[in-house]
Amino acid sequence: MNLQQDIAPFWVDAAAWAVLAPALIGAWRALRGSFLRPGIAEHVWLGGAVVVASLWMLQIRVGGGPAFGMLGSGLYALVFGYSRGSLGLMLALVLHTALAGGAWPNLGLNCLLLAVVPAAIATLLRRQIERHLPHNPFVFMICNGMFATLGTTVLTRLALIAVSQAIEPLRPAFALGSYLGATMLLAWSEAIVSGMLLSALVVFLPEVVLTYREELYVRPRGQAPLP
């Protein structure tokens, strides 16, 4: 089932909104009064939402199965953090639904699976990397840009598959394993692209990567390493 195009049962959409509402309110309250400073970060946040919405229109099919494509959610959340990332991804979903003629009744469910879930996973992985690995710009760029986005993409895609299967199982003639395999292969390519983009942003526009703290990752010469 393509959750962005096919309408899910009413009780599924209602349950999704019940879970999404507290997450949406919490993200908004966390940013109240300090969402984004006017300038380049604001433009990148809005432009990134448009790019992600457009990226979701690039879909492929394997063996007549459901369509899938690159997500971009992990990188977006890693750049802007959980609250700004989840709200920006929700904006991307609204744009995508309007431009692609998507299923408006599924908006809450899609926001939960394509905005809140990847933003939460990306934030959790980023914090684990920050806690357990050396505080080095290369560690931040490579581990977050590639491995955190890979984990976020894979887990988000598995959540989408699980919900789709629960609502409307794939036809018996279609091998679920083939779909999962193609999804994992595409996740690797997305991780590589995401790593290159995050590295470029950290080098050329570090002020837009709101999760990158120079006082933590870049120390003056001669200063002892942080504990």
Q: Which tens digit of pLDDT belongs to each residue from 113-142?
A: 999 999 999 999 999 999 999 888 999 999
Q: Is residue 3 part of a domain?
A: no
Q: Is residue 5 part of a domain?
A: no
When the pLDDT of each residue in the chain is averaged and rounded to a whole number, the result is 84
pTM of the model: 0.88
CB neighbourhood size of 154 (10 A): 19
Dmax over CA atoms of the chain, in Å, equals 64
**CB neighbour list of residue 37: distance below 8 Å, 6 or more residues apart:** none
Q: Which of 155, 142, 157 is nearest to 199 (CA)?
A: 142
Comparing 105 with 67, which gets the higher pLDDT?
A: 105
* Token output for 101: 């003629």
Report pLDDT for 227: 37
* Token output for 57: 């229109």
Share of the chain above pLDDT 90, in %: 47
pLDDT at residue 49 above 90? Answer: yes
How many domains does the chain divide into? Answer: 1
Q: How many CA atoms lie within 13 A of 25 on its CB side?
A: 6
Q: Is residue 82 part of a domain?
A: yes
Q: Is residue 140 part of a domain?
A: yes
- Residue 197 CA to residue 189 CA, distance in Å, equals 13
CATH code for the domain in which residue 149 is found? 1.10.1760.20
Q: Is residue 93 part of a domain?
A: yes
Domain that holds residue 29: 10-217
Report pLDDT for 171: 56
Which whole number is the average pLDDT over 82-108? 91
What is the 8-class DSSP label of residue 105?
G
Report pLDDT for 62: 60
Q: Is residue 199 part of a domain?
A: yes
